[in-house]
Amino acid sequence: MQKPFMRIPYTGPLPPPTIVPRNANTPSGAIAALSAFLAAPFTSYQSPTEHDHNAQTVLLTGAGISVASGLADYRGTNGTYTLNKTYRPIYYNEFITNHEARKRYWARSFLGWTNLYKARPNSSHWAVKRLGELGILRSVITQRRSPVKEPKQESSWIFTQLADVDSFHPKAHPDLPTIELHGFLRSLVCVTCHNHLPRATFQESLSSLNPAWAAFLAEMLESGALDTEHPDERRKKGLKTNPDGDVDLPDAPYSTFRYPACPTCLATPPKLVDGTRSIVKVDSDGAWSPTSTAGILKPAVVMFGESIAPAVKAAAEEAIDNAGRLLVVGSSLATYSAWRLVKRAKERGMPIGILNIGGVRGEETFFADVTPANAGQKGVRCSESADKILPVVVGKLQETMGDRTQDARRMSSPAE
């Protein structure tokens, strides 16, 4: 039986990128190469069964695509791992088994949620929407997951790797099916009964249970201390910023923070795996009691050290297998669950494009067989900002497709 794939960060240093083709080392060169990559005819390692397979591009995105929306990432120029070498995210087992760890997690998340909630899609997300409308993009895998939709025969998939802090992909292009590979923060899930609770509702409960923290949050919001996730700006205001809405306040009394129990488990305590009835207790204000044996709510994300749901893993693999090429945007592929999808695409002979600032895990193997004569059609590696590049690429593709349409119309018109 195959072991489940777990979300574990790759912590080794990443080498600088090797640009492919060589002239993609400038914004204009990157735009030309990516345009050639996305416009190239589909040459299959399989026998195409549909006439439009040349349009089947699967997109894999990471935290880097949302930096322009004001959110922090992990390995970018101002990423948490880049600037804070001692940073360690919470692991699934620690969250599940340690009441104090949950207090610390929810206190920091409580402070960071407002900025996440206010954030909006940027030009990269809207470019993705347009690529889907043009028929160029037929899949998206974001390292941020929404409930898995049943794949349709002629649908596209987007995969996001990170927990979908922002749900930007579903917001920007709701008609383009999206697989959020590592989950989302817009709701919580009970680890016992598996029911979901909207994060906005949970945030209100946290405010009610922690009035002193709520007052402090109000003060920070009024002062503008949380208006940015840029690490330098946050540091000036005595805060440390991390991805996924994690605001670290040095020397804060995290042990005083309280969080609610799952309302479903509280109303009807479920049976445990051993068949016994669980115990769910709360204090006089409604905060979860450590004497409980159920009712723990966690963010609906795949935490580090947690396995990806089999249905999500299968959908991601199917999207790769049904595509003709793969484009990675804003990801260093530092988690195995994302890296293995690119490895799978390479093993199937698919052209691979990567648009990411800085190094990418294992990228040398993805372009080892791309010849110097390649202008982008067989593979692309660019180190540029997606929000600056993708919209221009879309513009060039629209022009090219418009010219082809006009040529086709002229050829089909009867001779005068």
The catalytic site residues sit at 182
Residue among 191, 192, 202, 190 at smallest CA distance from 260? 202
Which residues lie below 8 Å from residue 92, measured CB to CB, with a gap of 6+? 303, 304, 305, 306
Q: Helices 386-412 and 27-39: crossing angle, nearest 10°?
A: 50
CA 287 to centroid of chain Cα atoms: 31
Residue among 356, 386, 351, 385 at smallest CA distance from 366? 351
Q: Which H or E run contains 395?
A: helix 386-412
Burial, 194: exposed, middle or buried (Cβ in 10 Å; 0-12, 13-18, 19+)? exposed
What does the longest C-alpha to C-alpha distance in the chain come to? 87
Query: What single-letter amino acid sits at 391?
Result: P
Distance CA 206, CA 379 (A): 48
Q: How far is CA 236 from CA 106, 225, 230, 231, 298, in A?
A: 23, 9, 10, 9, 31
Tokens representing 6 are 């777990």
Tokens representing 111 are 């402070």
Q: Helix (H, G, I), strand (E, B), or coil: what is residue 355?
A: strand
Q: Is the peptide bond before 48 cis (omega within 30 degrees of 0)?
A: no
Q: How far is CA 16 from CA 294, 357, 361, 364, 383, in A?
A: 47, 9, 10, 10, 9
Tokens representing 207 are 């405010």
Tokens representing 245 are 């809405």
Tokens representing 163 are 């927990």
Helix then strand then coil, in percent of the chain rounded to 5, is 40, 15, 45
In DSSP notation, 226-279 reads TS---HHHHHHTT-EEETTTEEE-TT--GGG---BPPHHHHHSPPB-TTSPBP-
